[in-house]
Amino acid sequence: MASAIGRGQEERAATREAGAPAALLEVRGVTLQYKTRKHLVTATFRVDFEVFPADRFVLLGPSGCGKSTLLKGVAGFMQPVEGTIRLNGRTVSRPGPDRMMVFQEFDQLLPWKTVLQNVTFPLTTGGGLRARDALERAKRYIDKVNLTNFADAYPHMLSGGMKQRVAIARAMAMEPDILLMDEPFAALDALTRRKMQEELLQLWEDVRFTVLFVTHSIEEAIIIGSRILVLSPHPGQVKAELNAHVHDHAAVGSPEFQRLQQRIHGMLFADRIEEQEAVDGQG
Amino acid sequence: MARASVIAADQPLEPPIREEFERRPEADTDVGDVERPLSWFETITNVTAVRRLFILAAIALVWQLYGTWLSNPLMFPSFAATAEAFFDALLNGGLLLKAWVSVWVLLKGYALAVLIAAVLTSLAVSTRLGNDLLTTLTSMFNPLPAIALLPMALLWFGLGDGSLIFVLIHAVLWPLSLNTHSGFMSVSDTLRMVGRNCGLTGVRYVTRILIPAAFPSILAGLKIGWAFAWRTLIAAELVFGISSGSGGLGWFIFENKQELYISYVFAGLATVILIGLLVENVVFRTIENATVRKWGMLR
């Protein structure tokens, strides 16, 4: 076991010397299972992928492909039954502030804390910053998401989009190795969602963070992502890894954008046709 | 109707094509009454205390009218007679001291019960066995009236504060634990994950995430516990009044009933009610306003 890990590190060191950058996050043959009251569900089956620094890596797939479960695995809320998840060469074993997560739900903010206190909270509890430094950094990131005027408001006074901005500021203020986003814009209305996508890309231009982003929207995946991992459902398996770094909002109508959209659509839709045929065949 | 059916007969219904247009919104000054101050009547009736005092005054008025009409001070003294007895007892009869004796015993029992509930519920959220223990204990003891334990408590702890505190703990502990525990259980998965994501574990996780997130339930439990404790204490003093040494409010009511000073009995009852109102509307209300209302967890 120890020698295997040692060999892995040597291999990585070798590739680094060859000029290629080292992967920040390595997911190798990961199978994740969870128990419901009656069933043991295999959410993902032997999934591999690598995320490099400053990647906007998107996990895309239909509901039931285990993309959220995969994100929870990377966050450390779940342990893989098979395979390894490594961040900076260290195996992920528990949740921690080096992988800050942004959830889909609006109730992820602590309702008993103001916007400023919410952003400061992980800095002082998990980041070990002194109170004054934490406050300063929190203010800087609240400013980045354009909520300076709402720093002293409580979450229940904010709109859905503003709550998600606070959550993003809270996660980014930790300056984590990797930012995990679980469909953060899925519960927003279409206009707000589009604005938030633009803002996220703008933030990335600004800070160049690494983000692992889960979505079920093909369009969102192409706009947000620099690289897209397409997963098949029941259980989630890797179907393709595609480049999308050239596309942003400005490219939405372009032929290349539509071609990529069609290609992914085909991959996801093919399953449904096969399923349908299988059902028909049984009938 | 007839026209539509005629059209539908030869072709499917189509909406009419209308002219397109774009418009500029009117300037702010032309819109008129966007915002106006409320009238003085609306302002006053918006104050909760004013509305509630009005209800209290109405009850006092009905009481006074009925008492005067009945004119039987032995069965039902009027509001004025009760108020007179109340102030007399307050100034000359040591009512304040008796009330304090009751409240002090109550506070001791209440505080102990809160402590024990904190330990029990913390155990219940951190271990499965603790969870089973709490669930079993609450379903066993919550339906058992505290006053029913008093005879045994008197044997075990003797005549004095000890036995009263024992039944008070019993009265507060179970409803408070039940509420707190169900509050902890209903904290959303998202908030739990946020807490663990921030690197919180153990006691820090309970105090920084679970307790504030479950605070509406905890506060409801504290309120119910307070009411149960108050009832139990007065009942215990009425039945075994002398057990608390110098005698509290219950004993005051009991004594005056024996002497047939009925207006003083009413004054004693009114004191119980007043203290209840005070704690509910001042103490708990202040805590609520500073916490769950401010946080938008309670309207």
pLDDT in single tens digits along all 283 residues of chain A: 444 444 444 444 444 444 567 888 888 888 888 888 888 888 888 888 888 888 899 999 888 788 888 999 999 888 888 888 988 888 888 888 889 999 988 889 999 999 999 999 988 887 777 888 888 889 988 988 888 889 899 999 998 889 998 999 999 888 888 999 999 888 888 888 888 888 888 888 888 889 999 998 888 888 888 889 988 888 888 888 888 777 777 777 788 888 888 888 888 877 555 555 555 555 4
Across the interface, whether the CB atoms of A97 and B291 are under 8 A apart is answered no
- ipTM for the whole predicted complex goes beyond 0.85: no
Determine the residue among B194, B201, B203 to mutate to test chain A binding: the one whose Cβ has the most chain A Cβ atoms within 10 Å: B194
Interface list for B 187-206 with A (CB within 8 A): 188, 190-191, 193-194, 196-200, 204
Backbone angles phi, psi at A57, to 5 degrees: -95, 120
Across the interface, whether the CB atoms of A112 and B204 are under 8 A apart is answered no
**Structure tokens that stand for A265 in this block:** 């659509």
The pLDDT mean for chain B works out to 86
Pairs of CB atoms within 8 A across A/B: 64
Distances from the Cα of B93 to the Cαs of A62, A102, B41, B90, in angstroms? Answer: 78, 65, 42, 6
Cβ neighbours for B184, distance < 8 A, ≥ 6 positions apart:
B121, B124, B125, B210, B214
Q: Report the half-sphere exposure of B232 (CA within 13 A, side-chain side).
A: 29
On the question of pLDDT at B6 being above 60, the answer is: no
pTM over 0.95: no
Across the interface, whether the CB atoms of A105 and B208 are under 8 A apart is answered no
Residue B132: burial class (beta carbons within 10 Å; 0-12, 13-18, 19+): exposed
Residues of chain B contacting A124 with CB distance shorter than 8 Å:
none
The pLDDT mean for chain A works out to 82
Contact B245, B161 (CB under 8 A): yes
On the question of pLDDT at B19 being above 70, the answer is: yes
Q: Which amino acid is at A186?
A: A
Which residues in A have their CB inside 8 Å of a CB on B?
75, 77, 95-97, 99-101, 103, 105, 107-108, 110-112, 121-122, 125-126, 154-157
